[in-house]
Amino acid sequence: MSTPEPPGGNPDDIVLQAKNLNKAFGAVTAAKDVNVAVPRGAVWSLIGSNGAGKTTFVNMVTGYLRPDSGTILFNDKNITGMEPRKITRLGISRSFQIPQLCAELTALDNMLVSLGSANEQASFFRSAHSADSVASATEMLERFRIVDYRHRTMAELPAGVRKLLDIAMAITGDPQVLLLDEPTSGVAAEEKYPLMDLVMEALEGANVTVMFVEHDMDIVARYSQRVLAFYDGQIIANDTPDHVMQDESVRRFVTGGAAATAGGASC
Ligand SMILES: Nc1ncnc2c1ncn2[C@@H]1O[C@H](COP(=O)(O)OP(=O)(O)O)[C@@H](O)[C@H]1O
Ligand SMILES: [Mg+2]
């Protein structure tokens, strides 16, 4: 892939910073002294075996979990422990490993809800939507090549489509930072690259900082400029994909030689 200027964005322009984050669940340490500074516009991946603390990191940054200690700065503003909704409004969006969609709504209605033109019961007030918002929602579904599913409810959607819809919804608010928790998990092997291509295309030119959790090291190498490797709640490596893959502790604790690189791992 082409090499952008400094790998992983401009280090003089830090959009997101985690300082000394700690989080425990009883005896389990889910985050231990996590420190990271993410440059604006970077595309980074998060790797680590199940239970390593990747989702905990995403949850803390997006307000779904409050760290026991430490600070999260977004554009130098302290967002630690803020409500998820407020963090989203500030400019940090996320998608989920298991898409969080309104089950009884259609794909189009879900998109309308996320476009902010809806409040609660989208199916009820769809008729009240402006033609503009329906056009924007439809355009977004087209961009992700899932427009043919617009009138289907979630139960009727294939897993890959649900995943794309959740990601498309995360992008609708024009986030500055986008965190994708295992965007390709549960997606058929041959659909993983097209899915990532669609996401990257949709973000082109928007200078969005992306952090995605991924188990497939080929995808990590292809789409991210830098990799954070998690183990036991700690970041054990923070470097380019090449370096991280050669790192001894990463080999020992994450990629495990032959093990753990296969796609589709879930947690
Ligand atoms: N809400 C929770 N309650 C209790 N334990 C949790 C909770 N969330 C995560 N954990 C634990 O924290 C550790 C890190 O989990 P997680 O961040 O989900 O890992 P990953 O996403 O890397 O698989 C695991 O041991 C997990 O069981
Ligand atoms: Mg996880």
pLDDT at 197 > cutoff 70: yes
What one-character DSSP code corresponds to residue 97? S
**153 plus 25 within the same structural domain:** no
Select from 226, 223, 231 the least CA-distant residue to 260. 231
Distance between CA atoms of residues 140 and 154, nearest Å: 17
- Domain end, chosen from 157, 174, 191, is at 174
Nearest CA, atom 18, ligand 1: 55
Question: Residue 97: CB within 6 Å of ligand 1?
Answer: no
Give residue 158's domain range. 98-174
Sign of CA dihedral 136, 138, 139, 141: positive
Structural domain total, the chain: 2
pLDDT band, very low/low/confident/very high, at 101 (cuts 50, 70, 90): confident
Query: What does the pLDDT look like over 34-60, one tens digit per residue?
Result: 999 999 999 999 999 999 999 999 999
Q: Distance from first CA to last CA of the chain, Å, rounded?
A: 29
- Domain end, chosen from 174, 193, 213, is at 174
**122 plus 38 within the same structural domain:** no
User: In this predicted structure, what is the pLDDT of residue 173?
Assistant: 82
- Domain end, chosen from 174, 193, 210, is at 174
Distance between CA atoms of residues 189 and 192, nearest Å: 6
**82 plus 109 within the same structural domain:** no
What phi and psi, each to the nearest 5 degrees, are found at residue 256?
55, 40
- In a 10 Å sphere around its CB, with 0-12 CB exposed, 13-18 middle and 19+ buried, how is residue 122 labelled? buried
Question: Residue 102: CB within 6 Å of ligand 1?
Answer: no
pLDDT at 102 > cutoff 50: yes
pTM over 0.75: yes
Question: Residue 162: CB within 6 Å of ligand 1?
Answer: no
User: Minimum mean pLDDT among 1-5, 82-86, 178-182, 225-229: which range?
Assistant: 1-5
Atom of ligand 1 nearest to the CA of 23: 12
User: In this predicted structure, what is the pLDDT of residue 64?
Assistant: 96
User: Counting ligands in written order, which one lies closest to the CA of residue 59?
Assistant: 1
**221 plus 139 within the same structural domain:** no
**191 plus 168 within the same structural domain:** no
Highest mean pLDDT: which of 40-49, 150-159, 195-204? Answer: 40-49
Contact 99, 163 (CB under 8 A): yes
What is the average pLDDT score of the chain? 88
User: In this predicted structure, what is the pLDDT of residue 117?
Assistant: 45
**241 plus 160 within the same structural domain:** no
Contact 107, 161 (CB under 8 A): yes
Order the strands of the 209-213 sheet from edge to edge: 92-95, 177-180, 209-213, 43-47, 226-231, 234-239
Q: What angle do CA 215, 218, 219 make, to 5 degrees?
A: 65
User: In this predicted structure, what is the pLDDT of residue 263?
Assistant: 37
**143 plus 245 within the same structural domain:** no
